[in-house]
Copies of this chain bind each other. A is one copy, B any other.
């Protein structure tokens, strides 16, 4: 029986835009596991109540149910030790924790204000009020359109924040080395999130990070390149 992956979807059920779900989709493909996906919306907390929390990704592997992207990757490496490792062993996994935290606190947090109104626009109609209320509260009561309005001014700082990745790319094609693994999936998640929700161009064409993203988009027969999104 294939693994079932619950993924965040927009008004278009094929628009799968969660950065955390993308980590898992790439991880499943990395291991070569058979899986099917099920679209889920922000407000469908009841449908995943069996996990004791309200966020995706969630996977169901037979009787086993796991939530939280890091925990799912851990589960997959433990349950399928003979398939290619997502983390690459204990030492690599510890260091990958740092890269994951960088992806979330720098890359994803840096992008978030530049995408807010665009996410609202592609969200399912039944999610839009929830999304607007929760995010406008997070942004201190500012309207999503207002939060996003100054993105051209934010862009240089965002691009500068990618310097560690850019420097690393002088030495090797992926964070995990010669081929991608969890650290790449963790950092690619936010980039794919942006691409799925917004036409806004976050990366200059001649940026080495752009070339790395292109390699990630092409991976697994273009799994990410083929996703519903924008050409940004």
Which A residues are within 8 Å of any B CB, using their own CB?
A: 88-99, 101-102, 104-106, 163-165, 167-168, 171-172, 174-178, 181, 183
Instruction: Report yes or no: B167 in contact with A101, Cβ–Cβ below 8 A.
Output: yes
In the complex, 26 of the A-B residue pairs with CB atoms within 8 angstroms, ordered by the A residue number, are A88-B91, A88-B95, A91-B91, A91-B176, A92-B92, A92-B94, A94-B172, A94-B176, A94-B178, A95-B175, A95-B176, A95-B177, A97-B168, A97-B171, A98-B99, A98-B183, A99-B99, A101-B163, A101-B164, A101-B167, A102-B102, A102-B164, A104-B167, A105-B164, A106-B163, A106-B164
Copies of this chain in its oligomeric complex: 2
- Interface of A (DSSP majority class): helix
A95, A167, A171, most chain B CB atoms within 10 A: A95
Ranked nearest first, the 10 interchain pairs of A and B with the lowest CB-CB distance are A94-B177, A88-B91, A91-B92, A101-B167, A102-B164, A105-B163, A95-B95, A92-B92, A101-B164, A98-B168
A97, A165, A172, A178, most chain B CB atoms within 10 A: A97
A177 and B91 contact, Cβ closer than 8 Å, known pairs A168-B97, A171-B97: yes
Instruction: Report yes or no: B177 in contact with A98, Cβ–Cβ below 8 A.
Output: no
What B residues does A163 contact at CB under 8 A? 101, 105-106
Chain B nearest CB, measured from A135 CB (Å): 20
Q: Which residue of B lies closest to A177 (CB)?
A: B94
Instruction: Report yes or no: B165 in contact with A98, Cβ–Cβ below 8 A.
Output: yes
Q: Which residue of B lies closest to A90 (CB)?
A: B177
Instruction: Report yes or no: B92 in contact with A99, Cβ–Cβ below 8 A.
Output: no
What B residues does A183 contact at CB under 8 A? 95, 98
Chain B nearest CB, measured from A62 CB (Å): 28
Instruction: Report yes or no: A175 in contact with B94, Cβ–Cβ below 8 A.
Output: yes
Instruction: Report yes or no: B95 in contact with A99, Cβ–Cβ below 8 A.
Output: yes
